[in-house]
Amino acid sequence: MSDPAGGGVLILDRKRTREAARPEAVAEAVRTALIAVAAGEVSAPPRVAARSGRGLLGAMPGHVPGLGLSAKLVSVFPGAAPGDHGSHLGIVAHFDAETGRPLAVMDAEAVTAVRTAAAATVAMRALARPGASRIAVIGTGTQARAQIALIAAMDGVELVVGARDPAKAERLVADLPERPAAGATAAGVEAAGVEAAGVEAAVRTADVVFCCTSSREPVLRRSWLRDGAHLSSVGGSDGPEFDAGTLQDASLFVEWPGAVTEPPPAGAWELQGTDPARARLIGDVLAGRRPGRRSAAELTLFKSTGHAALDVAAASVVYRTARERGLGITVDL
């Protein structure tokens, strides 16, 4: 062991990583990273993966000016995760961008969940119709819970949780922490104010839909989406999460050009064969370089494939917060 100030490597387990991953701080860092991606300022090769027959191990290194240098090793083994883990397990290593010295190792599941939810939320704030207030989260796993945690910080919204098995949605809603008393930090959504429903019922009533599933086939259809709705799709690692009709009718926004041009697992299943000219980079919208929504009736779609720049953004927040709060242990490596 060594003193944190002595140059050791900070080790953060899942609990401490989650504690240090302040959602709104991560969202702000992710916004910065998305703008940098669109401006061509990020160094991050397309994700690569080794497959074992039961799952894959992906590698995602990246550098974002002003945020840092990080690399994620994450395994994706659907249905094989132990305990209350999701299907994405691994580590994120964060480095000093000036010297190359390793600074921290943290839990990849927690980093992936918060940065993905942050990217979807940042996109929603940029693209949703003004006044949109009814939000549907589709899914009941780790990613859906991370998305709900960010929605909890928003004022004036109604939330419905949708699932192919409505009983799972009901159990998730029942497990949500209650909103704390006035003056305390919001830690969750008040369960009494959240509805549970099947997927179609949840989508049909929503102004905004966050689709957070591990489905191998579409879980929602264009006919269920209201005109003027916004959809953020962050799941579908092993297959399409929405149908072709949704893509056909929507204005498409992505994190990076490879979401369209690269094959999975780097690119999106739903976007294979799509004309790259159709996709606008969300970072360009955030920077004011390209328009976002152009009419109240427009259907907007943000398809997230994940990007190493987002992991760098989240890791930078986790590392800084952990150091400030004295979280984790420090070892000599």
pLDDT of residue 46: 87
Could you read off the pLDDT of 149-174 as tens digits, one per residue? 999 778 889 999 999 998 999 999 98
* Secondary structure E strands in the chain: 9-11, 48-51, 56-64, 68-76, 88-95, 102-107, 134-138, 158-163, 194-198, 208-211, 230-233, 251-254, 279-281, 300-303, 329-331
Q: Which of 115, 80, 108, 75 minimizes the C-alpha distance to 94?
A: 108
Sheet with 48-51, strands from edge to edge, namely 48-51, 56-64, 68-76, 88-95, 102-107, 9-11, 329-331
pLDDT of residue 189: 43
Q: Token match 């290593």: residue? A: 93
Domain layout of the chain by residue ranges: 4-111+309-331, 128-306
φ and ψ of 102, to 5 deg: -65, 135
The parts of the chain modelled with pLDDT lower than 50 are: 1-5, 179-192
Could you read off the pLDDT of 57-86 as tens digits, one per residue? 999 999 999 999 999 999 988 765 555 555
Rounded (10°) CA dihedral 314, 319, 321, 325? 150
DSSP track, 46-106: PPEEEE-SS-EEEEEEEEETTTEEEEEEEEE-TT---TT--SEEEEEEEE-TTT--EEEEE
Single-letter code of the amino acid located at 247: L
The answer to whether 4-111+309-331 and 128-306 have equal CATH topology is no
Single-letter code of the amino acid located at 97: A
Q: What top-level class would CATH report for the domain 128-306?
A: alpha beta
Helix, strand, coil distribution of the chain in percent, nearest 5: 35, 25, 40
The length of the chain is 333
Question: Angle at CA 140, nearest 5°, toward 170 and 210?
Answer: 110
Residues linked to residue 173 through DSSP beta bridges, in sequence order:
none
Q: Token match 């497990």: residue? A: 175
For a pLDDT cut of 90, what percent of the chain falls above it? 76
Query: Which of 2.40.30.10, 3.30.750.24, 3.30.1780.10, 3.40.50.300 is the CATH number of 4-111+309-331?
Result: 3.30.1780.10
Q: SS3 for 147?
A: helix
* CA dist 128 → 104, 131, 305 (Å): 36, 8, 20
Q: SS3 for 12?
A: coil
Cβ 216 vs Cβ 239: under 8 Å: yes
Q: Which of 33, 49, 34 minimizes the C-alpha distance to 88?
A: 49
